[in-house]
Structure 1
Amino acid sequence: MSGWNPATAVGSWDKKIGADEAENHANWTSNPAPNNMVFSDPKITTSGSTGEAILKKRVEDAVAAGFGAAVVSGTDVLNSPGSYFINNYFSEGDYSAFGHIDGAYRILPLTLAGNEYKNLDPDATVVTYCYTGQTSAVMSACLRVLGYDAKSLTYGMNGLYNTNPAWDNTVNKWGGDSGPKNLPLVQ
């Protein structure tokens, strides 16, 4: 929504982009991704007796917790990556080209059907980050329903290192094609 009109960008994206704290940070690297491990399923406690009832309650609990429970700042993760199980949701090429938080796994795709979710540590705070934070927010909400302590890194790559030269001319960089359009505001 921040890209709809310059008025919708003020106070949100424009103020959060450009800190470039990952630039020259000791925990920003281009090292290869660690090998994925296989973990057990997360454990949940429920009084539901059917799949439908369990899912309904899990979704209700996630919604009740609110979005704030499912986010973490790039500063926190970048300064203390060992406190999290980090999943960088970039393509393989972008993982190397843009760089990433040290120790970040690259679990993509991340599906139930393919069992890739088992590559996430159910005993850790799982932080997923992507280009803008939008995909990782949806993923984190789904993971919370499944029983993970999952969080989305706010603003994704845009909030960590927006001026990264390798990031220039990409469609997910705020300010390029994804910057504010001049679409009409309707009251």
Structure 2
Amino acid sequence: MKSRAFVSLTCLTLAVVLAGCEATTPPPEAKDQFETVRKAFDDYLSSDPAAATTAATVFDSLNDGDDTTTPYVISARSPEHYALGHVPGAVNIPWRTVANVGALDDLPTDQPIIVYCYTGHTGAVATAVINAMGHEAVNMKYGMCAWTRDADIRAASPFNEETSSDFPTVTDVPDEMTYDLPTMDVTDSTDDGEIVRAAAEAYLSGDESPIIAAEDLFDLLNDGDETNDPFIISVRAPEAYALGHIEGAINIPWKTIAQEANLKRIPTDRDIVVYCYTGHTGGLATTVLNVLGYNAKNMKFGMVAWTKDADIRATSAFDDAVDSNDFATEP
């Protein structure tokens, strides 16, 4: 009897000890989700990525007979426009779905990845997200407008010099302030990759356009209502910014947009407009900001849509006679 009582007491003591151990085991440490996503984008941008690649370069890579350089091509256009015609061999992953669970499961790790859209803008959105999620992708400059001259297949109008604006620019640098960083809570997961994916999906699942026309920005800045003026960021090089910029714009070169010090220069309670040269790097930078929790739009076609001054533009605008091709497509 004493033996049984001793065994029972021992078991009870062990159970209490184990229960105590379980009760004191600390839960997994919560991740700073904003910092996780910020670092993913900064790692991508600090790797010195290409701003974009040309349609001619993509065509050559697909047709040079060297399978080791053949890119994996993604059409980020809608399924309807993909069906009208696409780059031969391209798979269709609409840009708003690139962060959906499983959307990138079939992406190769041993091939270059090319993304294209209509004019280069939403292709930049998809490209930024794909890179933040651990792949290496490059956006095709000017999108399908550079691949084909078929207006039906393009399904969008390219930049037109005749309808571009000639709005004023300045060279003075505005005073700046320092702001708090956004906070983020998009998932219960502590996995870095899932946090980045969930943050991107949270942004992409919305329905706001990622772009704003130069004319619409000009109207906002000149309607006499300062309360709706957006905060403007030029993501061009400092030298290009110094040549002339939109009044009030601060300068954060696009490859540095995810650096913490630069993010602290951006308010979280105002609409933001980002612009670059032709819309491509502006699209990359805008995507970084939106996924991080800011409310940003990319100025369509960049500075070439704002001014006709070739020196201030600091790059050539899309010219259908020069920049477009008539490469084959497949349905």
Please state which band the TM-score falls in when normalised by the shorter chain: 0.7 to 0.9
Q: Counterpart in 2 of 1:159?
A: 305
Return the alpha-carbon distance in structure 1 between the equivalents of residues 163 and 231 of structure 2: 23
> What does the per-residue CA deviation read over 1:13-57, in whole Å, with 9 as the maximum and x for residues that have no partner?
144x44333x2x4xx222322144321101334453526344322
3-state SS, counterpart of residue 13 of structure 1 = coil
Q: 1:103 to 1:87 in 2, by over 3 A?
A: same
Q: What are the ranges of 5 or more consecutive residues in structure 2 without an aligned counterpart?
A: 1-142
Q: 1:76 to 1:14 in 2, by over 3 A?
A: closer
Q: Which amino acid aligns with 1:13?
A: P
Q: Counterpart in 2 of 1:184?
A: 327
How many angstroms does 1:140 deviate by? 1.2
Larger Rg computed on CA atoms: 2
- Map 1:68-87; keep pairs closer than 5 Å: 68-81=208-221, 82=226, 83-87=229-233
Which residue, 282, 305, 309 being the options, matches 1:136?
282
* Larger CA deviation: 130-139 vs 46-55: 46-55
How many angstroms does 1:122 deviate by? 1.2
Q: Counterpart in 2 of 1:61?
A: 202
Q: Counterpart in 2 of 1:41?
A: 181
3-state SS, counterpart of residue 128 of structure 1 = strand
> What does the per-residue CA deviation read over 1:120-153, in whole Å, with 9 as the maximum and x for residues that have no partner?
1111111110111111112111211111011111
Q: Counterpart in 2 of 1:6?
A: 149
Return the alpha-carbon distance in structure 2 between the equivalents of residues 127 and 145 of structure 1: 15
Return the alpha-carbon distance in structure 2 between the equivalents of residues 72 and 181 of structure 1: 24
3-state SS, counterpart of residue 290 of structure 2 = helix
Q: Counterpart in 1 of 2:319?
A: 175
3-state SS, counterpart of residue 78 of structure 1 = helix
Return the alpha-carbon distance in structure 1 between the equivalents of residues 262 and 309 of structure 2: 29
Return the alpha-carbon distance in structure 1 between the equivalents of residues 298 and 259 of structure 2: 22
Which residue, 129, 136, 150 being the options, matches 2:296?
150
| Poorly superposed stretches of 4+, deviation over 6 Å | none
Q: What are the ranges of 5 or more consecutive residues in structure 1 without an aligned counterpart?
A: none
Identity %: 22
Q: Which amino acid aligns with 1:87?
A: I
Q: Point out which structure has higher relative CO (alpha carbons under 8 A, 6+ apart).
A: 1
Q: 1:120 to 1:172 in 2, by over 3 A?
A: farther
Q: Counterpart in 2 of 1:94?
A: 240
Q: Counterpart in 2 of 1:19?
A: 163
More helix by share: 2
- Map 1:107-118; keep pairs closer than 5 Å: 107-108=252-253, 109-113=255-259, 115-118=261-264
Q: 1:184 to 1:47 in 2, by over 3 A?
A: closer
Q: Counterpart in 2 of 1:106?
A: 251
How many angstroms does 1:10 deviate by? 8.0
Return the alpha-carbon distance in structure 1 between the equivalents of residues 252 and 176 of structure 2: 8
Q: CA RMSD in A?
A: 2.8
Q: 1:134 to 1:165 in 2, by over 3 A?
A: closer
